[in-house]
Amino acid sequence: MLAGVKQALVFALNPPSIPGLGVASGFTFKLQDRAGSGRQALLDARNQLLTAAMQSPLLSGVRPEGQEDAPQLRVLIDRVKARSLGLSIGDVNATLAIAFASAYANDFSREGRILRVLLQADASHRMTPRDVLNLRVRNAQGEMVPFGAFTTTEWTAGPPQLDRYNGYPAMTISGSPAAGRSTGEAMDEMERLARQLPEGFDFEWTGVSYEERQAAGQVGALLGLSLVVVFLLLAALYESWSIPLTVLLVVPLGVLGAVLLSMGRGLPADVYFNVGLITIIGLAAKNAILIVEFAIEEEARGRTLREATLSAVKLRLRPIIMTSLAFILGMVPLVISTGAGAASRIAVGTGVMGGMIAATLLGVFFIPLFYLSVRRWISRQDVAR
């Protein structure tokens, strides 16, 4: 619908995920001129990058930020002629600046308040190029010389402002990942496209994108730390270093289910998906604990390893199915949620639901095998077969 607006380039923007870091969601990319190639070369590089980004299936809504070149009036001063007329170039520049900008003159007091005096030409006398040529400046002989005697004007176009980032001339490009893609994939794609630019141009990230790049690679460490904490707690619970492995071996089954269901729905592996993975560690371990705990108790009563395992599976099958089914059904409102903020709820709900389904369906078969294997080959106890 917005593409039909011919008078402007319109984009629909979502607010940033972290208030104060940018004005919209997605990524913010700074293209820099590191070699001093000039503004036109930087503009050409930006347009080349925008063209490539718009053709990429990983990106959407890629757009330039800031104002485009606007009409400007260039005032050309013939310095030789100005000096021949007895004019000082400093006086010429000062007259032009005061008339069309402003200049601070003094302060004055009025009704107990200190107000500033600013000099500037009246608005009606700074509207057209002719107004520039009508300005007058005093020469060394005290005569008023019109600007038209030594000045010409011409219309051109130029940037309303010049941006720099970390000291380099820069231009800002913003955009969003395509549907089903994460911001990390979109940022990697932008970096790949930027490497195809001519030599001398580089890039940096800013805002939320910079924070995301700084935090990249921490997911694996967080998941590993979560597994270590769970392992230590289970080791303290069972007073064993080997039995907790039985519980943790079911976690990959839950992760597999979360990944498959999220991929099936076309969801990216974003931060909400990672939160769901950490949740799966506890939920998948819960089912294993139910079986392992009863198997240990049955062994303590004098049963063989095989008999204790089979008895624990039979005793805890119904509680595992009931609790897991209740939790899976509890995720349904998140999985099918709509409206504002639905993306985060869908990501968490889908990952947790997929993980619980896999951990339940596969866990009831593999947990007994894991327990038997650990007790026979890792615990190295003399257990009956």
CATH of the domain at 165: 3.30.70.1440
Kindly state whether residue 383 falls inside one of the protein's structural domains.
no
Domain count of the chain? 3
Kindly state whether residue 385 falls inside one of the protein's structural domains.
no
How far is Cα 306 from Cα 365, in angstroms, rounded to an integer? 14
Kindly state whether residue 306 falls inside one of the protein's structural domains.
yes
Q: Are residues 64 and 75 in the same domain?
A: no
Query: What pLDDT is recorded for position 76?
Result: 93
Burial class (CB within 10 angstroms; exposed 0-12, middle 13-18, buried 19+) of 33:
buried
Give residue-wise pLDDT tens across range 95-154: 999 998 888 889 999 888 999 999 999 988 889 999 999 999 999 999 999 999 999 999
How far is Cα 26 from Cα 176, in angstroms, rounded to an integer? 4
178 DSSP 8-state letter: P
Q: Are residues 223 and 180 in the same domain?
A: no
Average pLDDT taken over every residue of the chain: 86
Are 166 and 179 in contact by the 8 Å Cβ rule? The answer is no
Q: Kindly indicate the confidence band of residue 30, based on its pLDDT and cuts at 50, 70 and 90.
A: very high
Task: Point out the domain boundary residue: 215, 231, 261.
Answer: 215
Residue 312 has pLDDT above 80, yes or no: yes
Q: Kindly indicate the confidence band of residue 171, based on its pLDDT and cuts at 50, 70 and 90.
A: very high
Query: What pLDDT is recorded for position 170?
Result: 94
Query: What pLDDT is recorded for position 306?
Result: 84
Residue 156 has pLDDT above 80, yes or no: yes
> Which CATH number does the domain housing residue 243 bear?
1.20.1640.10
Q: Kindly indicate the confidence band of residue 379, based on its pLDDT and cuts at 50, 70 and 90.
A: low
Residue 381 has pLDDT above 70, yes or no: no
Residue 178 has pLDDT above 90, yes or no: no
Q: Are residues 269 and 320 in the same domain?
A: yes
Q: Are residues 265 and 367 in the same domain?
A: yes
Residue 198 has pLDDT above 80, yes or no: yes
Kindly state whether residue 253 falls inside one of the protein's structural domains.
yes
Kindly report the number of other CB atoms within 10 A of residue 73's CB atom: 12
Overall pTM surpassing 0.75 (yes/no) = no
Kindly state whether residue 384 falls inside one of the protein's structural domains.
no
Q: Are residues 283 and 339 in the same domain?
A: yes
How far is Cα 310 from Cα 301, in angstroms, rounded to an integer? 14
Q: Are residues 344 and 372 in the same domain?
A: yes
What value does the mean pLDDT take over residues 306-333? 87
Cα–Cα nearest to 137, from 200, 93, 81, 102: 93
Percent of the chain residues past pLDDT 90, beyond the cut: 33
Kindly state whether residue 231 falls inside one of the protein's structural domains.
yes
Residue 229 has pLDDT above 70, yes or no: yes
Query: What pLDDT is recorded for position 384?
Result: 41
Cα–Cα nearest to 22, from 239, 171, 209: 209
Query: What pLDDT is recorded for position 214?
Result: 77
How far is Cα 289 from Cα 379, in angstroms, rounded to an integer? 17
Query: What pLDDT is recorded for position 385?
Result: 40
Task: Point out the domain boundary residue: 215, 242, 260.
Answer: 215
Kindly state whether residue 150 falls inside one of the protein's structural domains.
yes
What value does the mean pLDDT take over residues 276-282? 84
Q: Kindly indicate the confidence band of residue 18, based on its pLDDT and cuts at 50, 70 and 90.
A: low
Percent of the chain residues past pLDDT 70, beyond the cut: 95
Task: Point out the domain boundary residue: 126, 158, 190.
Answer: 158
Q: Are residues 268 and 349 in the same domain?
A: yes
What value does the mean pLDDT take over residues 28-37? 92
How far is Cα 256 from Cα 267, in angstroms, rounded to an integer? 15
Measured N-to-C along each axis, helices 39-54 and 183-194 cross at an angle, to the nearest 10 degrees, of 130
How far is Cα 210 from Cα 216, in angstroms, rounded to an integer? 10
Give residue-wise pLDDT tens across range 79-100: 999 999 999 999 999 999 999 8
Q: Are residues 312 and 355 in the same domain?
A: yes
Q: Kindly indicate the confidence band of residue 380, based on its pLDDT and cuts at 50, 70 and 90.
A: low
Q: Are residues 313 and 374 in the same domain?
A: yes
Q: Are residues 147 and 167 in the same domain?
A: no
Q: Are residues 181 and 122 in the same domain?
A: no
> Which CATH number does the domain housing residue 122 bear?
3.30.2090.10
Domain, as residue range, for 86: 70-158
Kindly state whether residue 245 falls inside one of the protein's structural domains.
yes
Residue 174 forms beta bridges with which residues? 28, 63
Query: What pLDDT is recorded for position 23?
Result: 60
Q: Are residues 236 and 347 in the same domain?
A: yes
